[in-house]
Structure 1
Amino acid sequence: MKMLLHELHPAVIHAPLVLLPTAAVADLIAVSSGDWAWARVGRRLWVAGTVSALFSGVAGLAASQEVKLEEPRARDMVFLHGLGNAVISLGALGVTLWRLRRPPTLGQCVIGVLANVAALYTASLGGRAVYELGVGINPMPKDAEAGTFKGPPLLSREAPAALVSDALRGVRWLLGRARSLFSGAHPLAPGASGVRPGNQEPSVANEALAGSATYEAAVLPT
């Protein structure tokens, strides 16, 4: 089975989700204990975590153009996931630039911890978009609102150009959606934030797969 280009993002996103919290904890230990060997560890982890976050972000922007987002809730959930991660990644970049020249401070540690708490929320949105709404799942029926457009294989000749072009399209989409949201022209779809209470409606993935199973039962011989 060949790995497709849109599958790069979920494959690499775990690196910053591990490295950035560890960097924040290392800095916190350095500040609280006075052991500045931890500060050197934290600085290296910030660099590694930020580089991996930026790469994961580029892969995520590209993936946003290679998956089906025809259902409003799924589209806006992916938008919030991407916008939140973009803000967190830029914040990590700022902390990293600070740490390259200065020792950790208590205020910087607090910012780092809060940013990683926010990352838990954006990560949960990404997980719900996939597991609840079916975004990016290859076996989804072709006529489903969720799934994927089946981009090029990750190791193909077309993949590098597709990664760059789709990432740029993803940036334009993210900024355009943010503009329409903050101007009030296009509010978020209900349930897109993932925190609406009492959200019991069937997921897009379940509806699509149930429809596919019904069709197969009707037309396929037993």
Structure 2
Amino acid sequence: MKMLLHELHPAVIHTPLALLPTATVADVIAVTTGDRVWAKVGRRLWVAGTLSALFSGLAGLAASQEVKLEEPRARDMVFLHGLGNAVITLGAVGVTLWRLGRAPSPVQCALGLAANVAAVYTATLGGKMVYELGVGINPMPVEGSVGTLKGPPLLSREAPKALIRDAVLGVRWLLGRARGLFSGAQPLASGAKGFGEGTQVPAVTSEPLVDDATLSPSPRPLI
């Protein structure tokens, strides 16, 4: 089974989701105890977590161009997911650069905790995109509004070029959609935030699938 290019993002995103909160916890311990060893551990975790976040973000930008996003709610949910992660990643870059030459501080720890809370929200959007809306699911019907565009296999010769090309296109799409949102020209689709109006799951009917009155009685077994 070949791994496709758009599947790289969900495969690697767990690394920064694990490293960045761990870096924050290490810094909190260093601040509260004054232990320099924990400060060194936190600094290294920030570097590793930020580098993995940058790579995951690159893969995510490329994936945004490898999946079908014809449905407005799915498209805007991908936009919020990408925009939120871009802000979080830029914040991680800033914290990492600051931590390279300084010890952790209470303010920096508070910012790290806030960023991790925001990352939980963007990760939740990522789950909703896939499990509720079917974004990036390969077996989706060809005529469906979501699914995948069947990008190149990850280990193919075309993959590196497609990764860079689609990442650039993803940045252009993200910035263009943000410009439309903040100018008021293109408001978010209903339900794109993952909560509130437009996110209600349809109620399951309690009516029988087949009217009992239309069923013919089962023949009695012959004795």
TM-score (norm 2): 0.89
Match of 1:128 in 2: 128
The structure with the larger Rg is 2
Q: CA deviation at 1:198?
A: 7.1
Q: CA deviation at 1:195?
A: 1.4
Match of 1:174 in 2: 174
1:156 maps to 2:137: no
Distance 1:105 1:17, change over 3 A: same
Q: CA deviation at 1:16?
A: 0.1
Q: CA deviation at 1:167?
A: 0.1
Counterpart amino acid of residue 12 in structure 1:
V
Counterpart amino acid of residue 115 in structure 1:
A
Deviations for 1:111-146, whole angstroms, at most 9, x for unmatched residues? 001000000000000110000000000000000001
Match of 2:61 in 1: 61
Runs of at least 5 residues in structure 2 that lack an aligned partner in the other structure: 203-223
Deviations for 1:173-210, whole angstroms, at most 9, x for unmatched residues? 000000000000000000000011573255xxxxxxxx
Q: Distance in 2 between matches of 1:146 and 1:102?
A: 46
Q: Distance in 2 between matches of 1:179 and 1:198?
A: 23
Q: CA deviation at 1:51?
A: 0.1
Runs of at least 5 residues in structure 1 that lack an aligned partner in the other structure: 203-222
Q: Distance in 1 between matches of 2:19 and 2:201?
A: 36
Higher helix share: 1
Counterpart amino acid of residue 123 in structure 2:
A
Q: Distance in 2 between matches of 1:166 and 1:81?
A: 17
Q: Distance in 2 between matches of 1:82 and 1:175?
A: 10
Match of 1:37 in 2: 37
Match of 1:216 in 2: none
Counterpart amino acid of residue 157 in structure 2:
R
1:77 maps to 2:73: no
Please state whether the residue corresponding to 1:147 is helix, strand or coil.
Answer: strand
Residues 197-208 of structure 1 mapped to structure 2, 5 A cutoff: 199-201=199-201
Aligned length: 202
Q: Distance in 2 between matches of 1:46 and 1:120?
A: 18
Query: Is the 8 Å Cα contact of residues 47 and 96 (structure 2) preserved in structure 1?
Result: yes
Deviations for 1:151-182, whole angstroms, at most 9, x for unmatched residues? 00000000000000000000000000000000
Q: Distance in 1 between matches of 2:162 and 2:198?
A: 40
User: How much identity, in percent, do the aligned residues show?
Assistant: 77
Please state whether the residue corresponding to 1:68 is helix, strand or coil.
Answer: strand
Q: Distance in 2 between matches of 1:78 and 1:131?
A: 13
Match of 1:190 in 2: 190
Q: Distance in 2 between matches of 1:120 and 1:160?
A: 29
Q: Distance in 2 between matches of 1:197 and 1:176?
A: 25
Q: CA deviation at 1:36?
A: 1.3
Please state whether the residue corresponding to 1:101 is helix, strand or coil.
Answer: coil
Where do 4+ consecutive residues of structure 1 move more than 2 Å? 197-202
Q: Distance in 1 between matches of 2:135 and 2:145?
A: 9
Q: Distance in 2 between matches of 1:161 and 1:71?
A: 27
